[in-house]
Amino acid sequence: METSLAIALCLMLAGLAALELRLSTAILEILAGVLLAAFLPHTAEVKWLGFLANFGMLALMFVAGFEVEIDKLRRTWRSCLVIGILSFAVPLAGIYVLCTLLLQLVPVTAALVAIGLSTTSLALVYQALRHENILDTAEGQTILAAASVVDVLSMVALALLLGDITWATAVVVLVVVLSLAGLPPIGSWLFRRYMGSTAEPEIRFLLVILVALGFMAENVGGIHPAIVAFAVGVAMAGVVYESTAVREKMKGLVFGFFAPLFFLHAGTQIDAARLSPEFIITAAVLFVAAVGLKFAGTALPARLFMRDSSSRAVGMLFNYRLSFGIIAANVGLESGVLTEDLYAAMLITVAGSAALPAMSGTATRRKKAADPIRY
């Protein structure tokens, strides 16, 4: 019980600190998780935290899907694909070469590290766009769609590398496709019939979808449940946006409860006691390479479709890498592809790169406040 109380207090303090410092709550929730694990090492044994954190990741992907407007994507699909593909391919190639030549890693390990550090966290990009109030713009839709392209490529690459694709994957794809077609009509009927009920059947319906599809994707086939949740969120977007009350209640539940638990749990996976000199050097090399290559691979193609200042901001924004970077590191450790030191270095790089765009965005907002005419 004392650990559960500590978790609740950390979440509350992280939220208040984020408001006072004008930083992303996700970054401070990750830091709170690191500190919590350092002072209470048995935090990882709290089973409810792990379950709710996984559910929070699915919920974030699901809500992110609500914000994607298909009509706008049809007009910007070329820019989405170009930015997304290069944002993933450039750091993937660069980090792989670095790991094989400089760090002397075997090809499989180098490839896993490269995949984990080439991704972009759709959850954090979504939160950043939402915080800046640009989700509804064409530019915001392009950025969000390009980030989803990066995540899809990352998960496909990991599945191919570790051989996770089986016949069961085809079953998952079939069920997901059928769900995308069948769930919106069912949801629309249910929302109309029970709208305004104090039992909140609409919210329960959405939560059941998340649990069912997440369970199926995790236990049956080689598609990560986050991608499934995002796809279903896109399919349900039209239905959810017919009811403003349902949309706001769902967002409040996700951003007020599930998402903070997900980010805090991610922070608890970082062991601060492993900070040896060799570890620090490895983490520093990976951090510089990952941030620089991701920025170059994203900002340069973004300049073709956006303003110069916007392309630089997108290059920094795509350095948000969290959920899938941690997933790739965990898979590598469990399969024996990564050593514990390399696993820890990846987590530090993932967390550090997630903090960088948050700090950059805060500095930009403060400059705008100080000199509103110039900005």
Q: Please report the pLDDT score of residue 360 as a whole number.
A: 61
Residue 304 within a domain: yes
- pLDDT category, 118, cuts 50, 70, 90? very high
Task: Report the pLDDT value the prediction gives residue 218, as an integer from 0 to 100.
Answer: 63
CA 56 to chain CA mean position, Å: 11
Q: List, for residues 181-239, the tens digit of each pLDDT value.
A: 777 888 778 777 777 676 678 788 888 887 777 676 566 656 667 777 777 777 777 77
| pTM metric for this prediction | 0.72
| % residues pLDDT > 70 (the chain) | 81
In a domain, 158, yes or no: yes
For residue 372, report the phi and psi dihedrals to the nearest 5 degrees: -65, -25
Neighbour tally for 320: CB within 10 Å? 30
**Per-residue pLDDT tens for 121-169?**
776 787 778 777 777 777 887 888 888 888 778 877 877 787 666 666 6
The crossing angle, in degrees rounded to 10, of helices 122-131 and 25-39 is 130
Q: Which domain holds residue 164?
A: 56-257+275-358
In a domain, 280, yes or no: yes
> Which of 194-197's residues contact partners 24+ apart within 8 Å by CB, and which partners?
195/243, 195/245
Q: pLDDT at position 113, please? A: 92
Q: What confidence tens digit (pLDDT) does each residue in 169-191 have?
A: 676 677 777 777 777 888 778 77
Tens digit of each residue's pLDDT (9 = 90 or more) over 240-289: 766 777 777 888 888 888 888 888 887 787 777 766 777 788 888 999 99
**What tens digit of pLDDT does each residue of 355-365 get?**
777 666 544 44
Q: Is 324 helix (H, G, I), strand (E, B) or coil?
A: helix
For 11-53, give the secondary structure using H, E and C: HHHHHHHHHHHCCCHHHHHHHHHHHHHHHCHHHHHCHHHHHHH
Confidence of residue 370 (pLDDT cuts 50, 70, 90): very low
| More confident of the two residues 176 and 297 | 297
pLDDT category of residue 88 using cuts at 50, 70 and 90:
very high
Q: Is residue 29 part of a domain?
A: no
Whether residue 326 lies inside any domain: the answer is yes
Assigned domain for 342 exists: yes
Say if 199 falls within a structural domain: yes
Cβ-count burial of 340 within 10 angstroms (0-12 exposed, 13-18 middle, 19+ buried)? exposed
371 — pLDDT class (breaks 50, 70, 90): very low
Provide the domain count of the chain.
Answer: 1
Domain assignment present for 103:
yes
Residue 163 is part of a domain; what is its CATH number?
1.20.1530.20
